Amino acid sequence: MPEETKTVRASAEVLRERKRRFRRTRARELMMITKALASTKHPILVHIIPMRRCNLDCGYCNEYDSVSKPVPLAEMKKRLDILADMGTSIITISGGEPLMHSELEEIIRHIRKRGMIAGMITNGFLLSKERIGTLNEAGLEHLQISIDNLVPDEVSKKSLKTLDTRLEWLSEFAVFQVNINSVLGSGVKDPEDALKIAHRAVELGFTSTVGIIHDNNGQLKPLGPREQEIFEEIMTLGKRSYSRFNDFQHSVARGKEHNWRCRSGSRYLYICEDGLVHWCSQQRGYPGIPLTQYTDEMRHREYLTAKHCAPMCTVSCVQQVGMLDNWRGPQTLKPKPMAPPAGARPELVQIGGTRSDS
Ligand code: SF4
Ligand code: SF4
């Protein structure tokens, strides 16, 4: 924990607006669940990348570069319109680092204008009081920051020490919901860090979750006894969040394979900066079809396609989406090439150890 931490208080006006936005978002989330249970024909959650570039270079990450340009706003709006027309419920903006996109707030406004729930995953380094204000005004509903350690090291600078002041600003000024994700697993030096990060998150009025990272061969490794204790403690800490209903996470912590139906490519979509649809951040390259050419039939096929990586998967957000359909739609199909346009199909990228915040 940083030496001098303080608890901050939001003004009465911020608290009022925070409550109002929370109630509205919760009502829309309940509608989202009802709609998802009533029909399997639309995506529930989409991760979209407006910016592959990142201002950090975490040692375990291969979801960023240091040179690429932001996706133009007009192109982002076009993609969001297609997703809205498909009936998508939630859009989470990810990266790279989305706060590097100079028109991020316009992207968020467009998500809200099209009736979808707007969330974002960020490393938080570019947050300022002013930026929190513009994110409030744009209508952001969820923000997640993943914090890897208490003090920065050679692998990750996403530490509580570097981010604590920004967390205090969020606690004071943000009217959107904030979740702090801490990490456990191979490569994490001190598992006690995760517990301290989670306690600080709750102290500041945020929800907290814990992600599990595995090493680069992608094998499912159980957490050690103390790590498992910490994992369980964080899962029961403070405020509730949907991820706590995720039985899968407990299996991952114990190194057990999990029996579930991954609906990526259908109920969950990952749209990269080039506008291609992928299963998820860890299985990029398939289907590899431009969003503009991704038909209802393709989505339906992917709904029924078994994913070879499902038993060892650590992508918790796709797991949560899967819970809404695990009881129906047995997956009997195998992945098959979907005739993308020439030159638009990158190689399948299977990523073992990577960010654990999605
Ligand atoms: S984990 Fe996040 S902050 Fe770190 S390099 Fe990757 S995209 Fe950037
Ligand atoms: S890694 Fe997980 S989320 Fe991604 S396609 Fe495989 S099972 Fe689905």
CATH number at residue 208: 3.20.20.70
- The yes-or-no verdict on residue 236 having pLDDT over 50 is yes
- Domain hosting 65: range is 1-358
At residue 214, the pLDDT reads 61
- Which amino acid is residue 38, in one-letter code? A
Q: Is 96 in the pocket of ligand 1 (CB under 6 A)?
A: yes
Q: Is 52 in the pocket of ligand 1 (CB under 6 A)?
A: no
Q: How confident is the model at residue 344 (pLDDT cuts 50, 70, 90)?
A: very low
Q: Is the dihedral of CA 281, 282, 288, 294 positive or negative?
A: negative
Q: How confident is the model at residue 131 (pLDDT cuts 50, 70, 90)?
A: very high
Q: Is 115 helix (H, G, I), strand (E, B) or coil?
A: coil
pLDDT, averaged across the chain: 88
CA of 104 to the centre of ligand 1 (A): 17
User: For residue range 253-274, what is the model confidence (pLDDT) as tens digits?
Assistant: 777 788 899 999 999 999 999 9
**Dihedral, CA atoms, 306, 121, 186, 323, nearest 10 degrees?**
-30
Ligand of minimum distance to the alpha carbon of 350? 2
Ligand of minimum distance to the alpha carbon of 252? 2
- Residue 238, preceding peptide bond in cis (omega within 30° of 0): no
Q: How confident is the model at residue 351 (pLDDT cuts 50, 70, 90)?
A: very low
Q: How many other C-beta atoms can be found within 10 angstroms of the C-beta atom of residue 151?
A: 12
Place of tokens 């604590």: 164
Q: Is 99 in the pocket of ligand 1 (CB under 6 A)?
A: no
What are the phi and psi torsion angles at 338 (to 5°)?
A: -115, 30
Pairing between strand 276-280 and 268-271? antiparallel
CA of 311 to the centre of ligand 2 (A): 9
- Which amino acid is residue 149, in one-letter code? N
Tally of structural domains, the chain: 1
Q: Is 157 in the pocket of ligand 1 (CB under 6 A)?
A: no
Q: Is 153 helix (H, G, I), strand (E, B) or coil?
A: coil
CA distance 5 to 213: 28
